Amino acid sequence: MIESGRGGVYAAMLEDKLKLNLRLVRNARYFSLSRFFSFLLFLPAIPMAIVYNPFWWIPASLLLAVFIVLVIIHEKSVIRKRFNDNCIAALTHEKEALNGQYSSFDGGKEFNDSDHIFTADLDVFGNDSLFQALNRTATFSGKSRLASWLKTPLQNRQEIVSRQEAVAEVAEMPEWRIYLRSHGMDAGEEKKDLELLYDWLVSEPLFTSFFFRIAQILIPIASFTATSCFILGIIPAQLFLLYLVIPMAVTGFHTKAVNRRHVMLSKKVELLQKYSIRFRMIEDAGFSSEYLTELVKKLKSGTLPASSGIQKLGKITASLDTRLNILAGFVLNVYLLWDIRQMRRLEHWQKEHRESLPLWFDVLADTESLASLGSLTYANPGFVFPDIVTDRFVILAENAGHPLIPARHRINNYISVTHRRQFNVVTGANMAGKSTYLRTVGVNMVLALTGAPVCATSFVCYPAPVYTSLRTTDSLSTNQSYFYAELLRLKDLIDRLNRGEELFVLLDEILKGTNSADKQAGSKALLTQLIGLGAAGFIATHDLELGKLFNSFPEDVINYCFEAEIAGEELHFDYKLKQGIAQNMNATFLMRQMGITL
């Protein structure tokens, strides 16, 4: 039964791919058996032609031709099946993602940075992270680009709006996105592949001199002439063998240099072919948004479009890889000066596309990142693109929820910061929802300034990044206490504000590492200083005294709370944000429930 809605599109595509998979498996068996029997029939035809009748050379040749054709067809069928398998995997992953399951995607844990202004506190990287929910990249450069976008929010309104338009366009191209990722999955790229390609790109050419230009013309002429003379008996075998020393000496003298360059490109033909396919997909997509059309222009700005340029590099590399066969390498170097000829072709390509290649892969990285954000957009039609404003320092949202919490479990709330210096003090009992609410604000701001949609029915914000202090930890390795680590975090925040950075601040239960009196005094002093520096944001706390700052800053401090209701032996949370200071605490109730005598 086909599902409805967005899941239905993926389900229909998946059903088609599963049907195709059955046909491809059946065809693979057919071609495998056919080529086996054609070769089996070919073998006796050879002795029949030699021993009995030359006529047998005709069926032998036909059977050999049939065998070769079947091998080629079978290989293409295998490649098609491998791609189809990738499509099945990609579609299965997307269907899982629709149900809030993202474990099939890479969480990018290597991008974790405990010193970053928000990524560690907001679970941007790692398992069950925002990055894992977004990540549809298939290249290391694409993965790094998406991570960079999340770590470095845009602060220019026009750049954000331009990216939003591109994300919205790609979102409505589900089949194109699936195929783009599937071709990338098929490439089998390793981290070192692109690094070696870039190393080769900046290497100095070795075979541009006039000597090599003339040698690649004269030596083939001389080699074929010498061979003809030897066959016709014009020159003796000794002289012919002596001649062979010349081409082998020319290539042999440069073997080490060729090897060093070849290792940077060796056995990357299939990878380059997959790059070429993905570049062509971008070039031919027919985008209309300004951001994407500019990316396409970059792919077509050189003497060749990226797809053709990479395809040509793949063909040259395939030709150079022929030298890996010792016999073929010997013959080709004797008669065509093969190594040097191919190296000269590579160096010509290198000169022609040295500036373009990094640009092409930048475009691919950007496109993969846009496709990742597009997948989030497509899977969540209830999300909205935020309205970015620059005339007001605000975050205003209706029905905002955490995007990683499935809709069936998500409790939405409003967000209201209307001016600089405003701080919302959020009080409430343990487990009432304070921390989740702060993370909801933070994660949606990260998405908003990345150019992605947010989990809300309306969202307006000023393009200033968030700064968080939600889960500071101590460090045994640096002999750093929890309290001191938190002070360093807060000092960094103050220093940034003093330098004029614009930040929305999210603080959760600050100064936990000290006694109650110190904590109250310190928290009040910090909040007073943050207001004086023109910051705005949220502070979640159990300390109800902090709410009394409203009396000192009636225009800037607003009290909100999450309440807990205790009815007999039952503890109930509605996780809805309310105005005012929390009235009910639950610590003693929970301790009694655990059997702790009070």
Whole-angstrom Cα distance, residue 88 to residue 58?
44
Q: Give CA torsion, residues 336, 339, 344, 345, to 10 deg.
A: 80
Whether residue 306 has pLDDT greater than 60 = yes
Q: Give CA torsion, residues 31, 32, 38, 41, to 10 deg.
A: -150
Domain boundaries, the chain: 5-98, 186-370, 387-593
Residue 363: per-residue pLDDT? 97
Give whole-number Cα distances, 259 to 57, 193, 320, in Å. Answer: 42, 16, 10
Backbone angles phi, psi at 594, to 5 degrees: -85, 0
- Ranked by mean pLDDT, the top range of 78-87, 158-167, 523-532 is 158-167
Whether residue 519 has pLDDT greater than 80 = no
Q: What is the pLDDT of residues 386-440, one digit of tens each?
A: 999 999 999 999 999 999 999 889 999 999 999 999 999 998 877 778 999 999 9
Extract the tokens encoding 303.
């003497």
**The tokens 């099946």 sit on which residue?**
81
Quick one: average pLDDT of 258-273? 85
Q: What is the pLDDT of residues 331-349, one digit of tens each?
A: 999 999 999 999 999 999 9
Backbone angles phi, psi at 515, to 5 degrees: -75, 170
Q: Three-state DSSP class for 39?
A: helix
Quick one: average pLDDT of 554-564? 89
b/e 104-141 (16+ beta carbons within 10 angstroms → b): ebebbeebbeeebbbbbbbbbbbeebbbbbbbbbbbbb
With cut-offs at 50, 70 and 90, classify the pLDDT of residue 443.
Answer: very high
CB 367 within 8 A of CB 86: no
Ramachandran quadrant class, 287 (left: phi over 0; alpha: psi -120 to 50; beta: rest): beta
Whether residue 42 has pLDDT greater than 90 = no
- Arithmetic mean of pLDDT over the chain: 87
Residue 566: per-residue pLDDT? 64
CATH T-level fold of 387-593? Rossmann fold (3.40.50)
Residue 299: per-residue pLDDT? 96
Cα-based angle 255, 258, 262 (whole degrees, multiple of 5): 135
Residue 140: per-residue pLDDT? 92
Q: Three-state DSSP class for 570?
A: strand
Whole-angstrom Cα distance, residue 365 to residue 359?
10
Q: Tell me which of 115-129, 159-173, 523-537 is least confident.
A: 523-537
Higher-pLDDT residue of 200 and 552 is 200
Q: What is the pLDDT of residues 209-241, one digit of tens each?
A: 999 999 999 999 999 999 999 888 899 989 989
Residue 567: per-residue pLDDT? 56
Higher-pLDDT residue of 598 and 301 is 301
CB 533 within 8 A of CB 494: yes
Q: Three-state DSSP class for 100?
A: coil
Neighbours of 262 (CB within 10 A): 21
CB 342 within 8 A of CB 316: yes
Q: Three-state DSSP class for 415?
A: strand
Whether residue 7 has pLDDT greater than 50 = yes
Q: Three-state DSSP class for 298?
A: helix
Residue 301: per-residue pLDDT? 87
Interacting residues of 295 by C-beta distance below 8 A, sequence separation 6+: 282, 287, 363, 366, 367
b/e 166-198 (16+ beta carbons within 10 angstroms → b): bbbbbbebbebbbbbbbbbbbbebeeebbeebe
Whether residue 75 has pLDDT greater than 70 = yes
Quick one: average pLDDT of 298-313? 92
Residue 592: per-residue pLDDT? 54
pTM of the model as a whole:
0.88
Strand 536-541 to strand 504-508: parallel, antiparallel, or no bridges (unpaired)? parallel
Cα-based angle 309, 313, 319 (whole degrees, multiple of 5): 145
The rounded percent of the chain whose pLDDT value lies above 90 is: 59
Q: What is the pLDDT of residues 357-396, one digit of tens each?
A: 999 999 999 999 999 999 999 999 999 999 999 999 999 9
Whole-angstrom Cα distance, residue 131 to residue 228?
66
With cut-offs at 50, 70 and 90, classify the pLDDT of residue 32.
Answer: confident
With cut-offs at 50, 70 and 90, classify the pLDDT of residue 554.
Answer: confident
Higher-pLDDT residue of 319 and 28 is 319
